[in-house]
Structure 1
Amino acid sequence: MSNEAPVTVHSRVNRGLAISCWVLTAALGASIALSSESRGAVAALILVAWLAYAIHMLLWAPSMRVGGEGVQVRNPFRSVDVPWEALIHVSTKLSLTLHTPGRRWPVWCAPQAGALLARRAARRQRDDRDPESPLDVGVPVGDLRGTESGDAAALVRERWAAHGTDGDAEAATVTVAVRWPRIGLLVLGPLLASVVPLLV
């Protein structure tokens, strides 16, 4: 079993996108609030707060923690704890995905790179000894080192191999928790924006 310290993974791309979305949302909200009467301003402020929360939940907060016991996936609407014993396969199509018997668990914080980022990552991996692009020799886009899905997949596979793959995957327990408070807040925002201004 590996004694390495746990590693937490976030999406750099998604977090950069989150910051851009927050800036745009704040600017839009300020513009609407300043050009509206009081009820419109209240509705705009509520919607801005709701959008800021949605951006946090969907882009900033998702993470994956790889530790001694397995992988903890924190997606927007649910969290999943996958012990090493339950893991049977790791894939990277569209995003890093952990496979357990009969189920698969996508990891929001490790999306597959787009074509431009994939080509850049492939160029960085070429050297004088092996001038061929990894993409030309059949390396899947999602497995390219230097991309979010590729680096995350490599981390999971290395820790999984260090732990050992012995055990009964069918008998291992994968813990899933639905994040109901987050879902409730996401649903509540537009409702508040439509009702609260009527009370002002």
Structure 2
Amino acid sequence: MFRSSFGRVITVVIGILMALALVSVLLADDPAASLWVLPWPLLGAAVTWAFMWRPRVVVDGEGVAIRNPFADWHVPWGAIKRIDTKWALELTLERGTVTAWAAPAPSRYGIARITREDIRLARESSTVGGGIRPGDSVHSVSGAAAHVTRAHWEELRDEGLLDDAARATRAWSAPAIAVVAVPALLAAAGLLLR
């Protein structure tokens, strides 16, 4: 499983700050005014959780499972046409692309951290002009996820085991949408009714 450790740290920090904000609101002198402010720290924590903690990439024998903030993708091996890491791990399909929020490419300074090992480990489909992109470095989340994905995909492709009729599926995550929508609606109601 691949996920951003930075996103998890940010979620914990924001969660603590939002909990402190909630305590501050609840201890305020004006309980009526507190009710209108209460949803905002909840919304901050919910948005941070959805965008920074929830995303992940799982590579297994069936394909690649990508969990983004509000949608879950299952991409069978045969549905993948190309694997890229320009901005994040991106799987190109017959009808569009799926970008993994959990596997962003490193910053432009990531190129300074590319090692000979990264180039040696690079798969045939990830090299560009004898080098690799920063997002393909196996020391980055996008590069590690892309390396594992490419290795399995290329093996199946070379053995002729890809099912070209396979299609990716997307399922909207009702719980994730609700976790963000409920405090957002409460915050909006607080603004309108105040």
Q: TM-score when scaled to structure 1? A: 0.78
CA distance in 2, matches of 1:197, 1:85: 49
Q: Which runs of 5+ in 2 are unaligned?
A: 121-126
Given that residues 50 and 180 in structure 2 are in contact (C-alpha distance below 8 angstroms), is that contact kept between their aligned partners in structure 1? no
Q: Does residue 29 of structure 2 align to residue 45 of structure 1?
A: no
Written as runs of structure 1 = structure 2, the 5 A alignment for 1:1-200 is: 8-35=1-28, 37-119=30-112, 121-122=113-114, 125-126=115-116, 138-164=131-157, 166=160, 167-169=162-164, 171-193=165-187, 195=189
Deviation at 1:24, TM superposition (A): 2.6
Identity rate of aligned residues, in percent? 28
Count of paired positions: 183
CA distance in 2, matches of 1:175, 1:135: 30
Q: TM-score when scaled to structure 2? A: 0.80
Deviations 1:173-193 (A, max 9, x none): 211111234324423313223
Alignment CA distance shift 1:188-1:151 (3 Å): same
Q: CA RMSD in A?
A: 3.0
Consecutive aligned runs of 4 or more in structure 1 exceeding 4 Å deviation: 134-137, 194-199
Alignment CA distance shift 1:21-1:56 (3 Å): same
Given that residues 83 and 174 in structure 1 are in contact (C-alpha distance below 8 angstroms), is that contact kept between their aligned partners in structure 2? yes
Deviation at 1:35, TM superposition (A): 3.8
CA distance in 2, matches of 1:117, 1:43: 43
Given that residues 90 and 99 in structure 2 are in contact (C-alpha distance below 8 angstroms), is that contact kept between their aligned partners in structure 1? yes
Q: Which runs of 5+ in 1 are unaligned?
A: 1-7
